Chain A
Amino acid sequence: AQSVSQHNHHVILSEAASLELGCNYSYGGTVNLFWYVQYPGQHLQLLLKYFSGDPLVKGIKGFEAEFIKSKFSFNLRKPSVQWSDTAEYFCAVSGFGNEKLTFGTGTRLTIIP
């Protein structure tokens, strides 16, 4: 069975700081990887996704993530965060050809102005 670990439960940063949120997965085959964001009171939105090709993927709002196959990781990064990035961030994985998503427990990001 596939699983996703997000070790950072709550991250607090000041504006303009750099961000890296960890995501590790466990799965025995080819995977599709996703980061979703849930702003306060809003629904989940897709930030970015990786299926194949360049392991460094760029998403919306200046976010990027790098797939490192040898480490089973897909960490999310942003060079300079803004107050509006305050939200819950979820990493998710699906097996290639399997449409079901498995989510991590989420990381709450709080940006201090």
Chain B
Amino acid sequence: GAVVSQHPSWVICKSGTSVKIECRSLDFQATTMFWYRQFPKQSLMLMATSNEGSKATYEQGVEKDKFLINHASLTLSTLTVTSAHPEDSSFYICSARVPAPSDTQYFGPGTRLTVL
């Protein structure tokens, strides 16, 4: 149980275009999902918390107009990188939280974004 999928697994796009990444909880409902960014050989940095039916909460320094998050249902959250630039190239990982008593985050496999 507690499987989280992401699509696509990798994407290459031209500078200035927008890219949408989907995160799905396959076998449980997640009222809360999280989006992280992982730089090579570094840890995960939380970008935002996505709550179903409400606006996402962004961490300090993350541009909410650039990284649009939509949590449309209890099993789906999307991250859209708008007007992508080469510096946005990274590994984006989502997680979905299984509520109490488990209260544990389960992670998707990640999406490798390369902006040319």
Residues of A within 8 A of B (CB): 32, 34, 36, 42-46, 49, 51, 90, 99-106, 108
Q: How far is the CB of A52 from chain B (nearest CB, A)?
A: 11
Q: Find out whether the CB atom of A44 lies under 8 angstroms from the CB atom of B107.
A: yes
The answer to whether A44 touches B42, judged by C-beta atoms less than 8 angstroms apart, is no
| A-B residue pairs in contact (CB < 8 Å), sample of 11 | A36-B107, A42-B109, A44-B107, A51-B103, A90-B44, A99-B32, A99-B103, A100-B49, A101-B105, A105-B42, A105-B43
A104: contacting residue among B43, B104, B109, CB under 8 A: B43
Contacts of A101 in B (CB 8 A): 34, 46, 95, 105
Report the count of interface residues on B (CB-CB < 8 A): 20
A100 & B46 in contact (Cβ 8 Å cutoff): yes
B44–A49 CB distance below 8 A = no
B residues 67-97 near A (Cβ < 8 Å) are 93, 95, 97
**Which residues does chain B contribute within 8 Å of A44, judged by CB atoms?**
44, 93, 95, 107
Q: Which has the most chain B C-beta neighbours within 10 Å: A34, A90, A106?
A: A106
Bound complex: CA A11 to CA B30 (Å):
36
Given A34-B104, A90-B44, A106-B43, also A99-B109 (CB < 8 A): no
Which residues of the other chain, B, contact A43 by a CB distance below 8 angstroms? 4, 93, 107-110
Bound Cα distance A106, B29 (Å): 29
B106 within 8 A of A: yes
Contact of B49 among A99, A102, A108 (CB under 8 A): A99
Which residues of the other chain, B, contact A100 by a CB distance below 8 angstroms? 34, 46, 49
Most B-side CB within 10 Å, residue of A32, A36, A100: A100
